[in-house]
Structure 1
């Protein structure tokens, strides 16, 4: 540390929170599995049965907002809030869009959650399932709504959802009723937007009415098995952002282990910049309520999940797009899709990964180039990724060594500025141009974010202070020695 302190430095100043949604960091919160804050609504709770409700509710989520804020989270997406069939703790088997799920609390308690979030400068979105409902939904048994349902009972993917009724999304009455329900809930609770799970099950045009009626809200569509071009069509139809389903599996494959080819993700990121209407708002996720846990991939590769998650999250937080974390990823939750992956959140687990997330979240918040900058790949080979992010006069170089060996990468000085230096912001590394190039050296499974900055000079004031301290200390020792000798 002392050699670093001998040089002057320029602190990176944090910006005020922006109204732009691509500045957000999102956390998907499964209400039932997060925190039980109110035991009075535990009617269906059975903590001995992992397939039953476990007691999480709106009050519990509100109680833990400080925890999320400290981790750098700026927006949360909570589970569907509508009335569900008994035992459907996940919230996707909606039986009535006009009623609240009493297991999670009242509408007033949801209002209180939103109010507290807003006081903490955080945003709240609600997961709104709009393409499939419970086989017990009130519309299914209504003879006047035969045209509203295409199938009253169909096996679902993933299989743990069981059979569900499929809504006729080409029916204008269905569309209007869903928009009415979304508009009503937003008016009553003050939420900031909706996350439409399984949005790609409906045609892009289906979402236009939502966008027109809910123009003040942020609307995210969940994509599954679509290309960037297909995802862009949903943006054109009115959604403000979509999840990058095309990137999810390549990301998991790249970071589940080391030494994996990494060109696929890089090329998809470049494609996003070319075809998406709002590429910086595109949501990047590794896992979700419907998938196996990403940690399971790591376990199957016999890899330590802490290091794997650090590499993956660093990549997600520093590449263009909006990073999103599924609850309990910060404690490396494991499990196969379904009940096994929906374990209770543990707030008393090892803090190492949580602390690392806090560190990269601060950098993403403080450095506009990580949220808004251009993206230029510099080096990509078998897990060693180096790229440049630039915004106005801020230039950053991100290096991620997802390999099993120390890696060395050189960058022509003329591509940056030979009169400046690369100053590491994660681990304090530093590189200056020599013989016409900057050299970056990273240990295995390490990452660094470099700021291109003016060269530091010797801090004479600090050296003077240190000399004063040393001289004072020597004088003190001399006086103690002299007093001791006199006493003898």
Structure 2
């Protein structure tokens, strides 16, 4: 207990010096440095009750009040957690009950339930004032079942298949996309329209990126032209492929102009590996290596635990009779410390529960326990301060049936992450050569652990279901000048208090 107290004391005073020494000296933030928060607009926060028409908070298949003003009101909350980019579900004008944004009625207008174009522009401005970026999900595959194009004979070639209204039934996963009219992106007029829409939103609102849900049989030449036009509209614009067809590889995405893609298979392995204790990391690391080999820039790979179309990660933990908190902490540690861009779905910071759609889209609750929020905040802080966590090479040093150790290296900075997904404490021994030399020490940045080599070996003893992120530094003893300075300050303070008490006592006499 005393040893732990001393370690935490030293961490409290010395960690700012360790971190500042390793801060990224580059002023320009790259996309691989981003940490993304994914928001379903209707379910995040209700900031303007004036647009709450036909809202039914008791019906998960109806609008529930979230809007642009609600996001503006929570920008500081999100920035404080370390998020640098917000990715929003589609905001275009939708048909009745299209709360999710996928039943497009008008590409050139915002959804009335979310607020006006003027309010959306203010959201962009307020985000940029906080050095945050905004990515819009841009649905280019389908339109709503009552879209005006269906009644325009001149638009018959703009759609694939029949132009008859099929009806969409209930707002569920099975019907959300299955009966929607499909846009014919092989039509040159359609291609021009979609490019014009994209460029209009960039020019009009100054957004920073689009997430594009690509499907099979996509015309690669069109996406090449789309990306060319978009990138000419704004410097450092970001195109991320949101749905990855199994028959497309990274080279094809690069030819289509995509700067990044969201690796669904990796995220599935991530969810599986941390859904309960005592599971091997083998498949997760194999998938990680395959992703790095198949992409020229693995640091730009988007990876997530949840998204609007998956059951909540919390629901998997609950099914396995696990407390969600430890499960989330281990999974988020891996998400934030391995190559790629972390994408955190709204509500993850409170372990929001929910299985299939629409139950995975519950309204956000801001009155909740802050333990997981504080943990995410710490991870976000470390990821921004330590460039090795976003740019560094990755080497797995140890893995067994339930624990893993890996290091990231960028220039002279070395970070080491230890994750124990076991239901019991474990001991891990690594050589000094593997970790960077015998005259070093590993200083823990989450719990304040300190590991020094003994006989040229580093020994880690992580508790069950615990993780730690270490930074490798040269051995240090006690910082005597700092301790003396602090002692002098505390002594002066105590003397001052005593003097005040004596003076007050003398006055009373």
**Secondary structure of 1:164's match?**
coil
Local SS of the residue matching 2:66: coil
Partner of 1:315: 334
**CA spacing shift, 1:471–1:34, aligned 2, 3 Å:** closer
1:18 Cα offset (Å): 3.4
* Structure 2: distance between partners of 1:200 and 1:311: 35
Counterpart Cα distance in 2 of 1:461 and 1:66: 37
- The alignment status of 1:62 with 2:81, answered yes or no, reads no
1:40 to 1:95, Cα distance in 2 relative to 1, 3 A: same
State the aligned residue count. 476
- Which residue does 2:504 correspond to in 1? none
Determine if the alignment matches structure 1 residue 173 to structure 2 residue 189.
Answer: yes
Aligned counterpart, 2:159: 149
CA contact (8 A) 2:172 2:358 kept: no
TM-score calculated relative to the size of structure 1: 0.91
Counterpart CA distance in 2 for 1:336 and 1:303 is 16
Residue aligning to 2:117? 107
1:433 aligns with 2:463: no
State which of 85, 90, 93 in structure 2 corresponds to 1:80.
90
Q: Deviations over 1:342-366 (max 9, x none)?
A: 1111111111111100011111111
CA distance in 2, matches of 1:260, 1:273: 23
Check if 1:450 corresponds to 2:460. no
Which of 218, 222, 227 is residue 242 of structure 2 equivalent to?
Answer: 222
**Change beyond 3 A, Cα 1:201–1:70:** farther
> For the Cα contact (< 8 Å) 1:293–1:336, is it kept in 2?
yes
Name the SS of the counterpart of 1:102 in structure 2: coil
2:228 pairs with 1:208 = no
Distance, in Å, in 2 between the alignment partners of 1:230 and 1:314 is 28
Task: State the alpha-carbon separation in 2 of the partners of residues 264 and 358 from structure 1.
Answer: 28
Change in CA separation of 1:224 and 1:430 when aligned onto 2, cut-off 3 Å: same
Distance in 2 (CA, whole Å) between partners of 1:247 and 1:202 is 23
After superposition, the C-alpha distances for 1:35-73 in whole angstroms (9 at most, x for unaligned) are: 111122122222232221111111111111011001111
Q: Which residue of 2 aligns with 1:291?
A: 310
| Counterpart position of 1:183 | 199
State the match for 1:164 in structure 2. Answer: 180
Q: Which moved more, 1:112-121 or 1:10-19?
A: 10-19
Report the secondary structure of 1:163's partner residue.
coil
- Superposed CA RMSD in Å reads 2.6
- Pair 1:34-2:53 in alignment: no
1:177 deviates by 1.0
CA contact (8 A) 1:34 1:60 kept: yes
Match of 2:506 in 1: none
Residue 132 of structure 1 contacts residue 165 of structure 1 at CA under 8 Å; is this kept in 2? yes
Q: How does 1:409-420 map to 2 (within 5 A)?
A: 409-415=428-434, 416-420=436-440
Question: How big is the shift at 1:470?
Answer: 8.6
**What SS does structure 1 have at the residue aligned with 2:271?**
helix
Shift of 1:223: 2.3
8 Å CA contact 1:422–1:453 kept in 2: the answer is yes
Distance 2:7 2:244 in 1: 51
CA–CA distance in structure 2, aligned partners of residues 282 and 424 of structure 1? 27
Q: Give the structure 2 partner of residue 485 of structure 1.
A: none
| Aligned counterparts of 1:213 and 1:344: Cα–Cα separation in 2 | 37
Q: Give the TM-score of the pair, scaled to structure 2.
A: 0.88
Cα distance 1:159–1:472, how it changes in 2: closer, same or farther (>3 A)? closer
1:251-310 deviation digits (Å, cap 9, x = unpaired)? 111011111121111112122222212210110012211111111111111111111111
Query: Contact conserved, 1:33 with 1:345, CA < 8 A, in 2?
Result: yes
Query: CA separation in 2, counterparts of 1:343 and 1:3?
Result: 41
Which 5+ residue runs of structure 1 have no aligned equivalent? Answer: 481-488
Check the 8 A contact 1:225/1:246 in 2, yes or no: no
- In structure 2, how many angstroms separate the alpha carbons of the residues matched to 1:23 and 1:254? 25
Note the C-alpha offset of 1:387. 0.6
Q: Equivalent residue of 2:389, what SS?
A: helix
Q: 1:205 to 1:285 in 2, by over 3 A?
A: farther
Preserved CA contact (<8 Å) 1:175 1:209:
no
Does structure 2 conserve the Cα–Cα contact (< 8 Å) formed by 1:407 and 1:441? yes
Answer yes or no: is 1:92 the counterpart of 2:129.
no
Match of 2:259 among 229, 240, 247: 240
Deviation at 1:235?
Answer: 2.6
